[in-house]
Amino acid sequence: MNAPPLVIDRPDVVAAVRRVFHDYERALMDNDVAALIDYFWADARLTRYGIADRQLGIDEMVAFRRATPPPAFTRRLENLRITAFGDDMAVALVEFVRSDTPLRGFQSQTWVRFGADGWRIVAAHVSMIPFDV
């Protein structure tokens, strides 16, 4: 039996991921720890690579998030790109500029929709480097 063709960038899926992406960003800047934890897949296979940290699995991510102080900076997002693959998977890529460093940041998140649980980040990567646009 042939699977139906994969639909890329269905507008409603891209819009849904864009909403949760911006909700996540608000929670990050507000240091809403409970919300930040809830945006991630509660599974040992979760992976998050940070600027100077790494979390393998939900337990490490929860411990990291609970130990992280509120941000003492602001962030400006640039070049947000969301690509949806089918109904239940998307990748969000964004550049950011923080108020406390001349470095440019890059963030990637892989989002998966888990039925009634909604959209969750299953993998994320954050980096900062010297970079002139």
Q: Which fold has domain 11-129?
A: Nuclear Transport Factor 2; Chain: A, (3.10.450)
pLDDT band at 69 (very low <50, low <70, confident <90, very high): very high
d(CA 50, CA 33): 16
Q: How far is CA 39 from the centre of its chain?
A: 8
Contact status, residue 8 vs residue 85, Cβ threshold 8 Å: yes
What's the pLDDT tens digit per position in 36-61?
Answer: 999 999 999 999 999 999 999 999 99
Mean pLDDT for all residues in the chain: 96
**What pLDDT does residue 63 have?**
98
pLDDT band at 115 (very low <50, low <70, confident <90, very high): very high
pLDDT (average), residues 97-103: 96
What's the pLDDT tens digit per position in 23-39?
Answer: 999 999 999 999 999 99
| Per-residue pLDDT at 133 exceeds 80 | no
What's the distance, Cα to Cα, between the start and end of the chain in Å? 48
**Tokens linked to 109:** 């998140």
Domain extent listing, the chain: 11-129
Burial of 63-101, coded b for 16+ CB within 10 Å and e otherwise, reads: ebbeeeeeeeeebeeeeeebebeeeebbebebbbbbeee
Angstrom distances, CA of residue 35 to CA of 9, 26, 66: 26, 10, 11
**What pLDDT does residue 84 have?**
98
| Per-residue pLDDT at 132 exceeds 90 | no
**What pLDDT does residue 102 have?**
95
| Per-residue pLDDT at 2 exceeds 90 | no
pLDDT band at 68 (very low <50, low <70, confident <90, very high): very high
